[in-house]
Structure 1
Amino acid sequence: MSDYDRRAHLKQVHESRKAKTIQRVDESIRRLVKAKEGINFNSVATDAGVSKSTLYNNPEIRARIESLRQKQAQVSTPKQVKREMDENNKDAIIASLKRKMKKPEEENKQLREKLKFSYAEVYQRI
């Protein structure tokens, strides 16, 4: 029992916990990237089950999350692409609807003209 070194043991436990934490964070980041979800300190901390301060205090993890977050900010998300498509298609949809409205308007105009002639004929008969 005299050979027991408490400091060495604590250091070993600390290193083991640190390695497990880094492994969990790496797995979490891979899962989030695979699922195409947002990479940020909150999402990684929640998914990995670690505190945000752990992520901020580890320079390697912090740099990795910041770089991934920056890359994701540059790439358009599916929602942004859809919104842009909607904006681009809006004008085409409006033009199409206007064309569709012209046909019933023309028919309505022709029917009104026929109705005028019909009224004139009925009036002449009286």
Structure 2
Amino acid sequence: MQKLTAENKPLIFGNVASVAGLSISYLYKYPEIKKRLEGLREQQQKADKPVVAQKASENSKSVMISQLRERIKKLEAEVISLRRVNEGLAGRVYHLQSADELAERLKAENAHLKAKITKLEKELEQSQDQSVATSYASNNSGYRL
């Protein structure tokens, strides 16, 4: 207990048990130890009571009030500024959402057009193959053996 007092640590059962190398239940087991510890703790608490702070003078109160009012004005101005920034950002988010929707529509249209191009390329190839076959057939039709 002397060690805890010297180190300015509170006299509680956990601290005493730790310093003494005992269990907390062991300290509670003996009423005389418990009573002694509680008495010392009361003395320690009475000695540790803080000194009552002096009351602020009227002049210091008015200085604090004016400083607080000034701080409130600055914070209100900051709130207004941040609201403007927030509104601007909200507008940009809305604009970006619209751009996202447009991009998705364009991607879908692009995929549709690619499919159409592929289909048309196949039709062109088939048409060319038929044209070549027809041309070959008409060129060879004049020759009979």
**TM-score when scaled to structure 2?**
0.43
* Structure with bigger gyration radius: 2
Pick 1 or 2: higher relative contact order, CA cutoff 8 A, min separation 6: 1
